[in-house]
A and B are shown apart, each in its own frame.
Chain A
Amino acid sequence: MSQVLGYSESDIEAIEVEAGSEDAAWGEIQRRCGSLTDWGRDLLREGLDGSVRTVVVEPHYICRDFRDLYSGFYSKKFIERTSFCSRLHFFSVASVGIDDIVSSPQTFQDSYIGYTVVQPIRERCIGRTVIDPHLIGNAKASFYCLRTPMKAHLNGAEFHVSGFPYSSQTTEATVCAHAALWGVCRYLSERYSAYQEVHPYDLVRMTGATMGRRAPYRGMTYHDYCEILTAFGCYPVFLRPRTEHHNDWTLDKPSFCDIYAYVESGFPVLVSFRGHVATLIGHTSDTTLHSQEMESLRFHNSFSLLKRFVVVDDNFFPYQPLGFKADPENYGNAFTNLDPRPSIDSIYVAVVPLPEKAFLPAREARRIAYRHLEDDQEAVSLVDSALDELSVPTGEPLIARLFLTSSISFKKRKRECAEGFLDGQADSWSFLPVDLNLPHFVWVMEISSLSLHLQGKAFGEVVLDASSGPDECDIIYMRIGSSVMREGELFSYDDALVQFPQYTHNLGER
């Protein structure tokens, strides 16, 4: 355990991790960072080996999250322990000294992978950790996940990292549900000023007492989940696929389309697998449909292109792939103590921390949007004309992608589309939502052919008020190709663009 006696030297040191000599380097890191257990070392190496070339060890670090846990729990133990943590900073460049890094942080910013706080706890010692997923081998083009920018200061030098906050459970004071909730809350409070920062022991305190004492550990219940997320300022909804005991997503595809829509909307989704919980924070996509079943008369839901969800699970390095049950790459295959093992099929309950004014459920939004695209012959003809203009081959699958977004983000992105900043083609129709009074949140269904979708383009969109109800089926507007329908009128221009860039802001991508 690290000890600080007075205002001593910082003792920060850079350790090179040479390719082929990782064991020796990590041995040295453990020697300098006494709290780093073998479990913590192995977890970090699982995600960082091959990417990290220099580790800066900061032996004495005051972590506000651990101080909170310390004050609430560890300080009450008989055996004394330090309240100081250590911190490790990871860089992808080799052969650099600590003097270079501190004196010229901007030179090393691009190679800054992130940091991890090492807590003075037996075994599960990994505290607040933020790693940029794109700097550890996850290609930007096919890996979509939630990230938020965070800062780290190293002897006055400032580094920036964009990632999803991760922490392991302590097993004594916190359990996996606390770790997952902490990640969700920290992501939201870092990203949106409306949410106040909460610390790990706040979550323990917010856990209900109806099941007995809160610490040392006990499992959390769904009731606790709701209470905590509500106290935090969210409006959680529960989704429970009708797949109990069957472990087969095909038994309730609409529920999985709902979960996917919320992930696509940029919400971290807490999912439980009967006894365990993790957080969905993104996905990877396939180029072919894994399910031929259409969701409506003409359209496949973009869930059919889902390859894997990206999850944060406190037992593993962040950004694990949650696949379908037969997927050999599914990280859940490593669980030997859970039956069924975690997979997309075995999601038992999903909890989505929604904002207050998102009243319309994903399923109703899809239903209303499909009806506008398919019920009237005129809409069907508009889709056919757009497909003709785009020379989409007959029989090519059509893809519908649904997401919820704030009207601020939607307008910002549409303005960029309208002015041609995204693909060099100014799309005047994109000025339409920019100059409309919109509710705080809108549901958007984009439609594409499969080939257009893979190019990041759409040829139509239906925009709905997320504060409306299922019986209020008026939409804000619908665009199909070069035509727009709004308030019972159709507007067409023969020189308007037929296709336009997809909205891809929610999961951090451009």
Chain B
Amino acid sequence: MAQIPKGRYVRVRDLLRDGRPTSIPETVKRRMREERRQTIIDQDLLRQQEDWNFLSCQIVGAEDA
């Protein structure tokens, strides 16, 4: 296996040499797309889109508290 470039300042072009293809990004993309397709309702998204207007007039700080 190659030796990692060493020096006072190593450039990206010197670090990223002799790479080999990996399936990691494609697997992640595929899985995430599948998950999105299967998820009819995304709970987190739903939560973000909830009506939080009730908070707008709630008191959060007052005397003695």
Contacts and interface: CB of A to CB of B under 8 A. Distances in A.
Q: Is the interface of B mostly helix, strand, loop or mixed?
A: loop
A58 B2 CA distance: 66
Given A277-B61, A376-B23, A429-B15, A418 B10 contact: yes
Q: Top 3 closest A-B pairs, CB basis?
A: A177-B61, A219-B59, A489-B19
B17 A491 contact: yes
Nearest to A276: B65
Given A337-B64, A486-B16, A221 B31 contact: no
Interface of A: 169, 171, 175-178, 180, 210-211, 217-223, 225, 238, 240, 242, 254, 272, 275-277, 337-338, 349, 361, 363-364, 368, 371-372, 375-376, 378-379, 418-419, 426, 428-429, 431-432, 434-436, 471, 473-475, 478, 482, 484-486, 488-496
B58 to A, nearest CB: 6
Given A371-B28, A375-B27, A431-B10, A493 B19 contact: no
A489 B61 contact: no
Contacts of B19: 486, 489-491
Contacts of A171: 63-64
Contacts of A379: 24
A182 B33 CA distance: 44
Contact of B21 (A419, A478, A488, A492): A488
Nearest to B55: A222
B21 to A, nearest CB: 6
Nearest to B10: A431
A337 B64 CA distance: 9
A273 to B, nearest CB: 9
B40 interface: no
B53 to A, nearest CB: 9
Contact of B60 (A275, A363, A493, A496): A275
Contacts of A371: 28, 31-32
Nearest to B29: A473
Contacts of A277: 60-61
A431 B5 CA distance: 10
A219 B9 CA distance: 55
A219 B60 contact: yes
A419 B62 CA distance: 52
B63 A431 contact: no
B62 A219 contact: yes
B20 interface: yes
Contact of B6 (A275, A426, A484): A426
A238 B49 CA distance: 12
Given A175-B62, A218-B62, A432-B12, A489 B21 contact: yes
Contacts of A434: 9
B64 to A, nearest CB: 7
B41 to A, nearest CB: 15
B60 A473 contact: no
Name the residue among B47, B52, B62 with the largest chain A CB count within 10 angstroms: B62
Query: B9, B11, B28, B52: which has the most chain A beta carbons within 10 Å?
Result: B28
Contacts of A219: 59-62
Nearest to A210: B57
Nearest to B24: A376
18 contacts: A171-B64, A176-B65, A217-B63, A219-B60, A220-B61, A238-B52, A275-B59, A277-B60, A372-B25, A378-B22, A378-B23, A419-B8, A435-B15, A473-B29, A473-B32, A488-B26, A489-B20, A490-B22
Given A219-B60, A428-B15, A489-B19, 5 more contacts: A171-B63, A217-B62, A368-B32, A418-B10, A431-B15
Given A275-B65, A489-B22, A375 B28 contact: yes
B63 to A, nearest CB: 5
A257 to B, nearest CB: 12
B1 A493 contact: yes
Contacts of A218: 59, 62
A471 B36 CA distance: 9
B37 to A, nearest CB: 12
Contacts of A429: 4, 15
B59 A220 contact: yes
Nearest to B5: A428
